[in-house]
């Protein structure tokens, strides 16, 4: 379980997030959504111990991280149970895909990589549908293929919590579904805490058990998509007019209608008429 208690984060003296409180239960996929610049990536980096808190606290297992920059020893202990996949997955390493995935067990590796580790790495590549790329140089892959490889590395860590920042941004529809299916299955089967930043609202509604809507530096709302997502809420958060439909399994589907008509624009339109 991860608890955020009145968390505040500033960068360069400017507040990015303030008074964010939430409980992230294990076995559930928690999707962070919100407009550009809302602080979604900042929140994930803080959860990973990469950004110091300016106020509040984060609790993870038996550890508690408060304001200020933690020591390197504390940060190592904190991260031992986490796997973080950042947005930037560029990789100019002279390594194969299989070798990159094996690095997911860096803390447990010895000079000789045993058969069990190689088999585990291949199993992760199979799960993500890129086993055929195992011997390709990581730098030769497309952005989407690298994204799948880095996700396979996350799985290789066998973490208690997964922090995934826009893991499907470079993927086509088929591979978005493949990756998010694995995310959901792994989260439930291993009883992990999974926090994933998504821009696609419909994917977030379909795959997340819990939504965290971040906007204006605060947590605007949280809860299951079916009870949370309304046209009014999404319209106010993103500044666009939308309608919310429902698919065959009852998940909300957000359909954009266009930019809202401001009162000034409406008055000009009426004057022209």
Contact 130, 97 (CB under 8 A): yes
Predicted local confidence at residue 158, as pLDDT:
84
Predicted local confidence at residue 91, as pLDDT:
60
Predicted local confidence at residue 134, as pLDDT:
87
Q: What is the pTM of this model?
A: 0.85
CA-CA distance, 95 to 83, in Å (whole number)? 20
From first to last of the 273 residues of the chain, give the pLDDT tens digit: 999 999 999 988 889 999 999 999 999 999 999 999 899 999 999 999 999 999 999 999 888 999 988 888 888 888 888 999 988 766 666 688 888 888 876 655 454 567 788 888 888 888 888 899 888 988 888 888 888 888 888 888 888 999 999 999 888 999 999 999 999 999 999 999 999 999 999 999 999 999 999 999 999 999 999 999 999 999 999 999 999 999 998 999 999 997 765 544 444 443 444
CA-CA distance, 101 to 163, in Å (whole number)? 17
How far out from the chain centre does Cα 55 lie?
Answer: 23
Predicted local confidence at residue 17, as pLDDT:
94
Beta-carbon count within 10 A of 157 CB: 21
Which tokens in the block code for residue 178? Answer: 């493949």
Which residues does residue 96 pair with via DSSP β-bridges, in sequence order?
A: 137
Predicted local confidence at residue 33, as pLDDT:
97
Domains along the chain with CATH numbers: 2-81+159-272 (3.40.50.300), 89-158 (no CATH)
Q: Are strands 193-197 and 28-33 parallel, antiparallel or unpaired?
A: parallel
CA-CA distance, 186 to 158, in Å (whole number)? 10
């Amino acid at each position: 379980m991860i608890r955020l208690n009145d968390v505040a984060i500033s960068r360069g003296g400017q507040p990015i997030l303030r008074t964010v409180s939430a409980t992230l239960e294990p076995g559930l996929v928690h999707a962070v959504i919100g407009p550009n610049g809302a602080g979604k990536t900042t929140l994930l980096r803080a959860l990973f111990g990469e950004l110091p808190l300016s106020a509040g606290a984060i609790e993870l297992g038996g550890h508690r991280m408060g304001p200020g920059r933690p020591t390197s020893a504390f940060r190592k202990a904190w991260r031992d149970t986490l796997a973080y996949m950042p947005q930037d997955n560029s990789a100019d390493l002279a390594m194969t895909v299989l070798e990159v995935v094996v690095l997911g067990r860096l803390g447990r590796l010895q000079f000789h990589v045993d058969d069990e580790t190689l088999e585990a790495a291949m199993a992760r590549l199979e799960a993500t549908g890129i086993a055929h790329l195992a011997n390709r140089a990581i730098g030769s892959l497309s952005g989407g293929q690298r994204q799948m490889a880095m996700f396979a590395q996350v799985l290789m860590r066998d973490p208690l919590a997964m922090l995934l920042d826009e893991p499907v941004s470079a993927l086509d529809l088929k591979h978005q579904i493949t990756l998010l299916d694995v995310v959901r299955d792994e989260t439930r089967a291993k009883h992990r805490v999974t926090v994933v930043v998504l821009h696609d609202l419909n994917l977030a509604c379909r795959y997340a058990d819990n939504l965290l809507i971040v906007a204006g530096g605060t947590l605007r709302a949280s809860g299951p998509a079916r009870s949370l997502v309304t046209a009014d809420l999404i319209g106010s958060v993103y500044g666009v007019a939308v309608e919310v439909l429902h698919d065959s399994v009852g998940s909300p589907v957000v359909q954009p209608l266009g930019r809202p008509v401001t009162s000034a624009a409406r008055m000009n339109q009426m004057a022209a008429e």
